[in-house]
């Protein structure tokens, strides 16, 4: 509140004495400084405020005598914090969720991996392929916002979130719409291994037209991811689990996977997002169509 009032009034906080705990400047200090005839006034930069309005984590822990160990921020963690804060604050997110039955996909995966060709296709490889093919059917979802006009990408360059000891990184399967499951699988294994070893080249993780984050292997049922700027969408994939479903008026059991699309409303409208999810769901539930 104090920072906001100072910014609105053009007040330089460097010249204000705080009366709050540990000398913190509070609302009444700013109001008094703005009301004083000789209050020092300066133009305040319009950059986003990085500090929260209340006590920071370290300050609060120190005040309350909480035990902790502080680790310095890595360069990657600083970038993650900056980009995702910017995304959540400036990008108008909305969310769409669809449930996909994956029993046919699991059966197709089992058959492919049992051919003796050395294939080890994962569910995530199928998801990458389905996303890429859905984007070719709904190209309006393969876009980014730019003040000069929307960028409509010609290829499905899929950024895939990979957890590393240093933080999250998104290596890219480029031109995924033109690659089969075997190629996607081998590329993803190579990219993920080098990502964890910190050996990716910048062009292998910078860019991308659409992001995918899969936490299904951790048992997460569903979640909503933050858009990876400047992309327009990110798909969050949960775990496949057996759930009761109704088929032809009869109760049955199916393996169901919940997927949530986070969308930049400046780029993609609700109808386009729904159309993309419908195409994605069809590919996931009819996996043989991905082999054509």
Residues 134-158 have pLDDT tens digits of 999 999 999 999 999 999 999 999 9
93 catalytically annotated: no
Q: What is the mean pLDDT of the chain?
A: 89
Which burial class, exposed, middle or buried, applies to 159 when counting CB atoms under 10 A from its CB (0-12, 13-18, 19+)? Answer: buried
Q: Is 83 left (phi over 0), alpha (psi -120 to 50) or beta?
A: alpha
pTM of this prediction? 0.79
Residues 83-110 have pLDDT tens digits of 899 999 999 999 999 999 999 999 999 9
Structure tokens at 147: 């003040």
* C-alpha span between 145 and 156 (Å, rounded): 16
- pLDDT attached to residue 45: 39
- Name the more confident of 22 and 260: 260
User: Average pLDDT for residues 222-249, to the nearest whole number?
Assistant: 95
Half-sphere exposure of 158 (CA within 13 A, CB side): 30
Reported as a pLDDT band with limits 50, 70 and 90, residue 74 is confident
What is 246-285 written as a DSSP string?
Answer: EETTEEEEEEEEEEEEEEETTT--HHHHHHHHHHHHHHHH
Catalytic-labelled residue, pool 22, 93, 155, 265: 265
Reported as a pLDDT band with limits 50, 70 and 90, residue 47 is very low
Looking at the chain, the whole-number percentage of residues with pLDDT higher than 90 is 69
**Does the pLDDT at position 167 exceed 60?**
yes
- pLDDT attached to residue 41: 33
Q: What angle do CA 137, 138, 141 make, to 5 degrees?
A: 145
Q: Is 183 left (phi over 0), alpha (psi -120 to 50) or beta?
A: alpha
- pLDDT attached to residue 17: 75
Residue whose C-alpha is closest to residue 129's, from 240, 19, 287, 244: 287
The domains found in the chain, sorted by start residue, are 2-55 (4.10.320), 93-291 (3.30.559.10)
Residue whose C-alpha is closest to residue 144's, from 228, 60, 55, 83: 228
Residue whose C-alpha is closest to residue 184's, from 120, 107, 128, 116: 128
Structure tokens at 183: 């190629």
Name residue 169's beta-bridge partners. 162
Reported as a pLDDT band with limits 50, 70 and 90, residue 19 is confident
Name residue 204's beta-bridge partners. none
**Does the pLDDT at position 27 exceed 90?**
no
**Does the pLDDT at position 254 exceed 50?**
yes
- Cβ-based neighbours of 251, under 8 Å, separated by 6 or more: 244, 245
Q: What angle do CA 264, 267, 270 make, to 5 degrees?
A: 70
- pLDDT attached to residue 44: 36
Residues 255-277 have pLDDT tens digits of 999 999 999 999 999 999 999 99
- pLDDT attached to residue 13: 76
**What SS3 class is residue 218?**
helix
User: Average pLDDT for residues 8-12, to the nearest whole number?
Assistant: 69
**Does the pLDDT at position 29 exceed 80?**
no
Structure tokens at 233: 């969408």
């Amino acid at each position: 509140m104090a920072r906001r009032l100072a910014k609105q009034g053009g007040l330089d906080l460097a010249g204000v004495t705080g009366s709050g705990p540990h000398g913190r400047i509070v609302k009444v200090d700013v109001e008094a400084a703005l009301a004083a005839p000789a209050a020092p006034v300066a133009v305040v930069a319009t950059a986003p405020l990085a500090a929260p309005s209340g006590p920071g984590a370290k300050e609060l822990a120190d005040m309350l005598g909480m035990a902790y160990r502080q680790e310095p921020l890595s360069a990657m963690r600083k970038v993650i914090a900056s980009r995702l804060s910017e995304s959540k604050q400036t990008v108008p997110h909305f969310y769409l969720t669809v449930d996909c039955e994956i029993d046919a996909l699991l059966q197709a995966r089992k058959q492919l991996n049992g051919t003796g060709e050395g294939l080890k296709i994962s569910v995530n490889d199928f998801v990458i392929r389905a996303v890429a093919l859905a984007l070719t059917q709904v190209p309006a979802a393969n876009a980014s916002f730019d003040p000069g006009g929307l960028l409509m990408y010609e290829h499905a360059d899929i950024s895939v979130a990979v957890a590393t000891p240093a933080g999250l990184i998104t290596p890219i399967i480029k031109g995924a719409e033109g690659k089969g499951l075997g190629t996607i699988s081998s590329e993803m294994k190579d990219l993920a291994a080098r990502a964890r070893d910190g050996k990716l080249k910048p062009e292998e993780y910078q860019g991308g037209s659409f992001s995918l984050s899969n936490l299904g292997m951790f048992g997460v049922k569903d979640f909503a991811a933050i858009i990876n700027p400047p992309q327009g969408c990110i798909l969050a994939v949960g775990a496949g689990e057996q759930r009761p479903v109704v088929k032809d008026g009869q109760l049955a059991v199916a393996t169901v996977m919940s997927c949530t699309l986070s969308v930049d409303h400046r780029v993609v409208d609700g109808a386009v997002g729904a159309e993309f999810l419908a195409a994605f769901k069809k590919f996931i539930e009819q996996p043989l169509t991905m082999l054509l």
